[in-house]
Amino acid sequence: MLAAKRLSSIRDLLNNGDSVSVAELSRTFNVTEETIRRDLDKITKDDHAVVRVHGGAYKIKNFDREAPYALRETLLVAEKERMAQTGYTMLEEGDTIMLDSSTSALHLAQAIKRGTLKISVITNSLRIALELSDCPHANLIVAGGAYRPSSRSFVGYSATGTLDDFHADKAFVSCSGLHARSGLTDNSESEARVRRTMLENSDYRYLLVDSDKFGRSKSHRIAHLTGIHSLFTDKEPDAELKEMLLKNNINIIVC
């Protein structure tokens, strides 16, 4: 297939399906992943509504700039699995934990399901709720509210109000951006409020953040770096971010 026709086809896929992955496009068009990355870079340069992420791209169609959940589930899977497995070692029998709607937290929920620890899980994630709905050793509590399709989660005052009624031993949350100066930020105001509430109502606060989020600042602040106990990630942060994390006594755990 000619490059121009391939580019046109990828644009059509983005317009019709919101998101694409590098690996899937490579198989579809029988070209290398590096070729697809160059194609996506060109499309992103020409169309500012298309956003490149590690392993794919998506098209913004409204004010919610979050990557579609279906795309995020396919990205950095091995890295998120290692982060989740390491995070699981922080859990103890009888813990009550809060899990946000991130795909990294979903991997932790899957680790809980595979394990044997009796855990109470409070979450606003529909995906996690479904994952743990038949888990005999997980006591599941769902914070309901307005449904947000791009994150498959429940948000709004109903969700944060429910979370405020609970206390957790540990919270595991992610973010859209982790920056030395702006701290934890999110694309969504409603999701930022949920994550902030989870952190505020937990004794120990853990971050599950892949390196693709490092150095990014989004529109809505979740929290400053103070009070965070550990960061589980897949790569060492750069010097500026690492210095700020250590200054705030955050344990950096590269998985």
Half-sphere exposure of 163 (CA within 13 A, CB side): 31
d(CA 154, CA 146): 5
Instruction: Read off the pLDDT of residues 54-65 as tens digits, 9 standing for 90 and up.
Output: 788 877 766 556
Same domain, 21 and 120: no
Same domain, 129 and 45: no
What sections of the chain are H helices per DSSP?
3-17, 22-29, 33-46, 69-72, 77-88, 103-114, 126-132, 157-164, 189-200, 239-247
Is-contact 207 232, C-beta < 8 A? yes
Same domain, 100 and 154: yes
Q: What pLDDT is stored for residue 36 in this prediction?
A: 85
Is-contact 105 208, C-beta < 8 A? yes
Q: What pLDDT is stored for residue 222 in this prediction?
A: 97
Collect the ranges in the chain with pLDDT lower than 70. 1, 17-18, 61-67
Residue 85 lies in a domain: yes
Full residue range of the structural domain in which residue 209 is found = 77-254
Q: What pLDDT is stored for residue 66 in this prediction?
A: 67
Same domain, 52 and 83: no
Instruction: Read off the pLDDT of residues 198-216 as tens digits, 9 standing for 90 and up.
Output: 999 999 999 999 998 999 8
